[in-house]
Amino acid sequence: MMLTLVGLSRGFLQDQQRRARGIGADIIVKDSGASAMSLGIGFPESFIPFFEKQPHVAMATGALIQPNGPLSTVTGLDLPRFQQMSGTFRFLSGRAFEKPDEVIVDEFYARQHGLKVGDSVTVLNRQWRVSGIFESGKLARLIIPLKTLQDLSGNTGKVVVVYLKLDSPANTQQVIDELKSMPGIAGKFQILSLEELVSQFSVENIPMLKGFIGVVIALGVIVGFLVVFLSMYTAVLERTREIGVLKALGASPGFVLSVLLRETTLLAIIGSAMGIIFTYGTQRLITTFAPGGLLQEIVPDWWPIASGIALGGALLGAAWPGMKAAKQDAIEALSYE
Amino acid sequence: MSEPILSVRDLRKIYRVGDVDVHALRGVDLDVERGEFLSVIGPSGSGKSTLFHILGGLTPPTSGSVKMDGRDLLAMTDRERTNLRKRTVGFVFQKYNLLPTLTARDNIEIARYIAKKDGERDAHFEEVLELLGIAKRLDHKPRALSGGEQQRVAIARGIVNHPAILLADEPTGNLDTENSNAVLGLLRDLNQRLGQTILMITHNPEAAAFGHRIVSMRDGRIVHASAT
């Protein structure tokens, strides 16, 4: 469970990073209230020409992003300008949208929802026609015309992010510094280089996710502890007579305890190995059934951590019933039915 | 005459059950000679099982003296009684008490492992296995063995560490007549051929007759002793 959830968190972040890199912009301007996980309330798109007029800025384009379900967003783009900045979308089938009710989706979203060009899809409580399916890795999974999304979401004339392409990436820091020094800009906007944006998609920069992983680990430890504790308690009860036999044969309390702890260690190691194998299974399941919403990474660096937690929890859980068993009276144990 | 391997004097055991003291043994005197096969007979509640548990070092006596192979059980700590069970005393129980997940061989080996005697078994013990008729059944788990075979494995386990005395508690209590006679015959063979000292507790007079001597218990005392 722990490895799957950490893998999901990391998969989500890596997918975000990959798609952020696919934008092709050098600088990203966001609302000052935005974070890696939220986009803020947005700002007027009239800022786009303002940014475009700045020295070294070759072009600027904006986007509006709206939630579309718990793990999905829909992005509104001025597609011709966006493609001018980041390169043409590579369509696996179909073409770019040309009408206000057309949508383009990436290959993962299409696979998960069984979509092909010409199909209808419901987005934001409205029917859309899929005009094209593009290769994944460019900004978003679900893209509709910017103007349409602005009108539909009540954000007419607003964007939540502006992408700036410079005449040379070498000028990135200089442009950022100049923009930040402008009165009224620094307080209203976050101005980030692409690398800064990408670096935001890490566990350390998302306090909620860090907390979430902490809660998952704590739950893993508690659940593991309870399961092992109850299993060991039951095992000790079931083996009362066997423990009595061992004691009759001259087994010391230390011997009985060590047998139980060795067994627990073996179970924890087998359990950890099975947990690791299980993450490959969940990854396959997610890739098969929900490729458009979730991505799970395999996290080998977490294998020793998760195994250590499992082993520690198991040994802790086994210690009390183990000590109880070790101190058990041999005669009572032998007469246990 | 040599010193008895087991010498019991005025042995008393009082259990506290709630607020009541239960006098399980009320002054038992008993000598067991080296190489003797002694049967202790008596009805339920006569104290024979308590005697078995004390002699086996499974519970300490309340008072009296128990000398086994020259060592005083009353003065022993828990650890010393644990060591006594490892090497000086072997057990055979009515319900065989084999570990169900281990093969017959491992059930025997675990006694050696606990006594820290692992390694090659002596050739003499291989002969014992032949004598017990289980040499070809050693790779089977208890559930695949008959009651008689399980009890023979339990006997092998009881003597694998060459104990000074083998304590058998109703060893034929769960067996039919044929298997009972076979097991009792084997105990007698072990006693006669190997000189193994055996103290067998039973409530069956026919089984008791396999011993050299029969001691009868009632109400926590020895009331009669006779040679067979």
Q: Does A277 touch chain B (CB under 8 A)?
A: no
Q: Check residue B220 and give its pLDDT.
A: 93
Q: Does A254 touch chain B (CB under 8 A)?
A: no
- Please list the alpha-helical segments (H only) found in B58-176: 78-87, 104-114, 123-132, 147-159
Of A220-234, B1-15, B57-71, B82-96, the one with minimum mean pLDDT is: A220-234
Q: List CB contacts (< 8 A) between A257 and chain B.
A: none
**Distance between CA B53 and CA B61 in Å, rounded?**
9
- On the question of pLDDT at B1 being above 60, the answer is no
Q: Check residue B152 and give its pLDDT.
A: 92
- On the question of pLDDT at B154 being above 90, the answer is yes
**Distance between CA A70 and CA A86 in Å, rounded?**
28
Closest-CA distance of chain B to residue A330, Å: 6
Domain B34-57+81-227 has CATH 3.30.1330.10: no
Q: Which of B81, B114, B166 to mutate to test the interface with A (most CBs of A within 10 A)?
A: B114
If you average pLDDT over residues B150-158, what whole number do you get?
93
Q: List CB contacts (< 8 A) between A248 and chain B.
A: 56, 58, 85, 91, 93, 97
Closest to A62 in 3D by CA, of A121, A3, A150: A150
- Looking at every residue in chain B, the average pLDDT score rounds to 90
Q: Check residue A206 and give its pLDDT.
A: 67
A233-A236-A237 Cα angle (round to 5) = 85
Closest-CA distance of chain B to residue A248, Å: 6
**Distance between CA A306 and CA A309 in Å, rounded?**
5
- Looking at every residue in chain A, the average pLDDT score rounds to 82
Closest-CA distance of chain A to residue B227, Å: 30
Structure tokens at B156: 């092998």
Q: Which of B79, B96, B99, B153 to mutate to test the interface with A (most CBs of A within 10 A)?
A: B99
**Distance between CA A117 and CA A103 in Å, rounded?**
10
Of residues B197 and A328, which shows the higher confidence score? Answer: B197
Q: Are A108 and A292 in contact (CB under 8 A)?
A: yes
Q: Check residue B74 and give its pLDDT.
A: 86
Q: Check residue B157 and give its pLDDT.
A: 93
Structure tokens at A61: 């384009």
Q: Are strands A43-44 and B20-32 parallel, antiparallel or unpaired?
A: unpaired
> In the beta sheet, which residues pair with residue A122?
A127
B149-B153-B157 Cα angle (round to 5) = 165
Q: Does A37 touch chain B (CB under 8 A)?
A: no
A282: helix, coil or strand? helix
Q: Check residue B90 and give its pLDDT.
A: 93
Q: Check residue A217 and give its pLDDT.
A: 72
Q: Are A328 and A247 in contact (CB under 8 A)?
A: yes
Q: Does A251 touch chain B (CB under 8 A)?
A: yes
Q: Does A221 touch chain B (CB under 8 A)?
A: no
**Distance between CA A97 and CA A128 in Å, rounded?**
11
Of B83, B85, B87, the CB nearest to A248: B85
Count of CB atoms situated within 10 Å of the CB of B67: 18
> What percentage of chain A carries pLDDT values higher than 90?
7
Q: What is the pLDDT of residues A193-203, one digit of tens each?
A: 887 777 776 66
Of residues B64 and A185, which shows the higher confidence score? Answer: B64
Structure tokens at B22: 């239960």
- On the question of pLDDT at B114 being above 70, the answer is yes
- The residue ranges of chain A whose pLDDT is under 70 are 33-41, 70-71, 201-207, 209, 224, 228, 290-294
Q: Does B91 touch chain A (CB under 8 A)?
A: yes
Q: Check residue B163 and give its pLDDT.
A: 92
